[in-house]
Amino acid sequence: MDINYFKSLIIILFFTQSVCSQTNIPSIYIKTINGKSINSKSTLNLDGLTVYSFWATWCIPCINELDAIHNEFEKWEEANIKLVAVSTDDSRTKRRVKPLINGKNWKFEIVLDENQKFKRALNISGVPHTIVVKESEIIYRKIGYKPGDESDLYDFLLKSSKKLIN
Partner 1 sequence: MKQKIHLLLILLAFLNCSFTNSQLLKNLTSSYESFSAYYLDDTKTGDFNYNNRFRSNNYLNIKSNIAKNWNLELQIESYAPNALLNYSPNLKDTGISTFKFQYTNEKIDLTIGNFYQQFGSGMILRFWEDRNLGINNSIRGLNANYRINDQINITALYGAQKKGFKYSKGYVLGIDTEIDVSKIFKNNSTLILGLSYVGRNDNKTTGTTYKNTTNLYSARLDFSSSSYYSNIEIISKSKDPIMQFEKFSDNFVKKGSAFLFNTGFIKNGFGIDVTFRRLENMSIYSERDAFGNTFNESIINYLPALTKQHDYSLTNIYTYQSQPNVSFVDPELIKVGETGLQLDLYYFLKKKSYLGGKYGTNLSLNASLWNNIDGDFDFNNKNYKTNFFGSGEKYFSEISLEIRKKWSPKVDNIILFVNQFYNKKYIEEKFGEINSKILVIETTYKLNKNKSLKLDLQNMSTKDDTKNWLAVGLEYNLNSDLSLYVSDMYNYGNTIKERKIHYYNFGASYNKGINRYTINYGRQRGGLICYGGICRYVPESNGLSFGVITSFF
List interacting residues with partner 1 (CB under 8 A): 1-3, 5-6, 8-10, 12-17, 19-24, 26-27, 33-37, 39, 58, 60, 90-93, 95-96, 98-100, 102-105, 114-117, 120-121, 123-126, 138, 140-144, 146-149, 151-152
Distance between CA atoms of residues 153 and 53, nearest Å: 12
Smallest Cα–Cα separation from 128: which of 82, 86, 77, 76? 86
Taking the complex as a whole, the smallest distance from the CB of residue 74 to partner 1 amounts, in Å, to 15
Per-residue CA distances from 95 to 35, 87, 101, 112, 133 (Å)? 11, 11, 11, 11, 28
Our CB check for partner 1 shows the closer of 45 and 88 to be 88
Phi-psi region of 137 (alpha: psi -120 to 50; beta: other; left: phi over 0): beta
Our CB check for partner 1 shows the closer of 109 and 114 to be 114
Taking the complex as a whole, the smallest distance from the CB of residue 42 to partner 1 amounts, in Å, to 11
Distance between CA atoms of residues 166 and 164, nearest Å: 6
Our CB check for partner 1 shows the closer of 18 and 166 to be 18
Per-residue CA distances from 31 to 66, 128, 148 (Å)? 20, 19, 30
Taking the complex as a whole, the smallest distance from the CB of residue 165 to partner 1 amounts, in Å, to 25
Our CB check for partner 1 shows the closer of 21 and 166 to be 21
Taking the complex as a whole, the smallest distance from the CB of residue 131 to partner 1 amounts, in Å, to 9
